[in-house]
Amino acid sequence: MRHNDLQRAAAGLSYLRGLRLIPAGFLLIVAALANENVGPLRDDWAFLLIAGMVGLAYVPIARFYREHYGRMSPSARQQVREGAALVAAPLVMVAGASLLRSGASWSLDLPVNALAVAFAGVMLISYAAGPGIRAHHLVIWGSLLLVGAVPLWDGADPSNVGLVLAGIAVVASGVLDHRLLVRTFGAPRDA
């Protein structure tokens, strides 16, 4: 038994609650469809309604995890680290995406999907800096990074395609996180 292994296990039990990511992934996809004025999503109220429903889906998921895998309060140090990451991540993502491809004079203006690359990069960095990268994170976020970095994204702004790809990656990562949680800590019925 190792000190760090046990502490990592406790952290894993908290962050591998991947089903919580599914509503966020769907929200990214819905946002992209709303940007493209697809179907009823061309109306703002339809997007807000769906976003609200997606947000509500988080409640039973959180309850499921609380009942079957327990609850913990992170340490003050961990809370500070998570808060800093929460503030830094969107800033890094916007700055990174603008640097890669935007109308700004300082942009490199590369033929890449800047949003996909920036999103994948931020996710990989945040996993590496926080709970640790697992194999499926490398596969999912690495694939998104590669797909986004292929210099074939010329022409119209591909941000919405990037949002959809990011949404799919978030859902896939969440499902695999949950599978790993169940494999490591047991199925819900075992509680």
Partner 1 sequence: MPEDELVLDRLIHEPARLAILTVLSSVDDADFVFLQRATGLTQGNLSSHLTKLETAGLVAIDKRFVGRKPNTSVALTPEGRKGIARHWSQLERLRRLSDPTIRERAPRATRAPRAARPASP
User: Is 9 a residue that touches partner 1 (CB under 8 A)?
Assistant: yes
The answer to whether 133 touches 127, Cβ cutoff 8 Å, is yes
Which of 4, 105 has the CB closer to partner 1? 4
Report the nearest approach of partner 1 to the CB of residue 122 (Å).
25
Task: Give the count of beta carbons closer than 10 Å to the beta carbon of residue 165.
Answer: 23
DSSP 8-state class, residue 139: H
Measured CA to CA in angstroms, residue 80 lies from 16, 75, 86, 168, 171 at distances of 20, 9, 10, 29, 26
Stretch that binds partner 1, among 8-16, 35-43, 134-142, 161-169 (CB under 8 A): 8-16
User: Is 105 a residue that touches partner 1 (CB under 8 A)?
Assistant: no
Distance CA 7, CA 13 (A): 10
Which of 52, 70 has the CB closer to partner 1? 70
Which of 74, 96 has the CB closer to partner 1? 74
CA 9 to chain centre: 21
Residues that bind partner 1 (CB under 8 A): 1, 3, 6-7, 9-11, 13, 67-76, 78, 185-186, 191
